[in-house]
């Protein structure tokens, strides 16, 4: 089953209003899927959904009831979700101990709640809808779930202890989730991006962006969000990709700072 066979199917992209999620929504739309954006950002989400002739749902991924309401809307308007790409995320920076004070536990918990638990809420709820739907292909395929980790799951830098813990959790749940859903025809992969030029990095001065890009072995530049969207489409396209975490990073290995 190729990407073209998924044309017309419903896809959900969380964090779809901005950055990697927005690029993913564009790539999936171009591939012919009907895309719903789950995000907190109403203005950007509505504008992109209008441009893509898709659906915007105001959803907080860390709130199970909010996710369920978004899924109800998708099911009613676009049909059963067949593809879920979890891109919603936050990246606050703080050290384990800073000026003698322990890491703020509220900030730590929020990072885990949004990045890890939010991805799991969306994945488990979307998977239940995929499982309830008829197989999409003769081989029994019902859907694909792609979670977004980070190279910080492997080489977390100083100040990334909460973020790295949340992304390490995404890496850890990839294989067991793929195994849990294998007999239902739902594949699960994760992408671990390196440095991508999204609003997060666009806010940095140009010389800082250039110096960050120069740390990437090849190509020596920041990744384009469209290149992330391309990998999402490749994962959907390739039925043998399952249970795997793919680094998309130009071979960068982050230094401590
Ligand atoms: P971004 O800030 O441009 O987009 C994140 C989106 O998530 C925003 O639209 C935001 O409104 C949404 N969001 C945040 N909390 C939410 C919540 N509780 N519910 C719903 N939506 C919520 O960031 P990005 O750079 O595109 O990052 C996307 C994902 O990729 C994140 O998980 C991030 O950790 C990961 N990542 C990014 C990079 C990079 O270089 N940009 C590198 C590694 C990993």
Interval 50-92: pLDDT, tens: 999 999 999 999 999 999 999 999 999 999 999 999 999 999 9
Known catalytic residue: 253? no
- DSSP label at residue 113: I
In this predicted structure, what is the pLDDT of residue 101?
98
Helix 225-237 vs helix 19-30: angle between axes, to the nearest 10 degrees?
A: 50
Determine, yes or no, domain membership for 29. Answer: yes
Choose, from 120, 163, 196, 228, the residue flagged as catalytic: 163
Determine, yes or no, domain membership for 257. Answer: no
Provide the token pair at 147: 């979670």
pLDDT at 1 over 90: no
In this predicted structure, what is the pLDDT of residue 171?
99
Determine, yes or no, domain membership for 255. Answer: no
In this predicted structure, what is the pLDDT of residue 144?
98
Determine, yes or no, domain membership for 256. Answer: no
| pLDDT band (50, 70, 90) for residue 204 | confident
pTM of the predicted model over 0.95: yes
In this predicted structure, what is the pLDDT of residue 217?
98
Q: Please report the beta strands in the chain, taking only residues with DSSP state E, as ranges in sequence order.
A: 10-14, 34-39, 55-58, 81-86, 97-98, 101-102, 143-148, 186-193, 245-248
Q: Hey, which of 13, 14, 19 would you mutate to test ligand 1's pocket, going by the most ligand atoms within 8 Å of its Cβ?
A: 19
Number of domains making up the chain: 1
Determine, yes or no, domain membership for 25. Answer: yes
| pLDDT band (50, 70, 90) for residue 203 | confident
Query: 77 is in which domain, residue-wise?
Result: 3-247
- DSSP label at residue 211: H
Determine, yes or no, domain membership for 253. Answer: no
Determine, yes or no, domain membership for 254. Answer: no
Radius of gyration of the chain (CA): 18
Which residue lies with its CA nearest to atom 44 of ligand 1? 150
CATH number of the domain where residue 182 is located: 3.40.50.720
Helix 161-181 vs helix 118-132: angle between axes, to the nearest 10 degrees?
A: 20
Determine, yes or no, domain membership for 121. Answer: yes
Residue 243: which region, alpha, beta or left (left: phi > 0; alpha: psi -120 to 50)?
Answer: left
Q: What is the pLDDT of residues 7-48, one digit of tens each?
A: 999 999 999 999 999 999 999 999 999 999 999 999 999 999
Task: Judge whether 142 and 82 are in contact, CB under 8 Å.
Answer: yes
| pLDDT band (50, 70, 90) for residue 232 | very high
Provide the token pair at 247: 């680094």
pLDDT at 98 over 90: yes
- Residues flanking ligand 1, CB < 6 Å: 14-15, 17-21, 38-41, 59-62, 87-91, 114-115, 118, 148, 150, 193, 195-196, 198-200
Average pLDDT over residues 208-228: 95
| pLDDT band (50, 70, 90) for residue 189 | very high
């Amino acid at each position: 089953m190729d990407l073209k066979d998924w044309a017309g199917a419903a896809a959900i992209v969380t964090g779809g209003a901005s950055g990697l999620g927005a690029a993913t929504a564009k790539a999936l739309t171009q591939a012919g899927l009907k895309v719903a954006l789950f995000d907190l950002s109403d203005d950007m989400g509505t504008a992109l959904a209008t441009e893509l002739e898709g659906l915007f749902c105001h959803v907080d991924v860390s709130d199970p009831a909010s996710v369920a309401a978004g899924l109800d809307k998708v099911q009613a308007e676009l049909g059963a979700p067949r593809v879920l790409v979890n891109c919603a995320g936050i990246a606050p920076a703080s050290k384990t101990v800073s000026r003698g004070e322990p890491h703020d536990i509220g900030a730590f918990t929020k990072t885990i709640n949004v990045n890890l638990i939010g991805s799991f809420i969306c994945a488990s709820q979307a998977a239940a809808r995929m499982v309830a739907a008829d197989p999409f292909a003769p081989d029994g395929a019902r859907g694909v779930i792609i979670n977004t980790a980070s190279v910080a799951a492997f080489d977390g830098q100083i100040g990334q202890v909460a973020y790295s813990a949340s992304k390490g959790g995404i890496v850890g749940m990839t294989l067991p989730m793929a195994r849990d859903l294998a007999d239902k025809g739902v594949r699960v992969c994760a992408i671990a991006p390196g440095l991508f030029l999204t609003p997060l990095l666009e806010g940095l001065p140009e010389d800082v962006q250039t110096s960050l890009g120069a740390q990437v072995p090849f190509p020596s530049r920041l990744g384009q969000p469209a290149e992330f969207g391309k990998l999402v489409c490749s994962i959907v396209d390739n039925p043998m990709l399952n249970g795997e975490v793919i680094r998309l990073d130009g071979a960068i290995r982050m230094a401590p700072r």
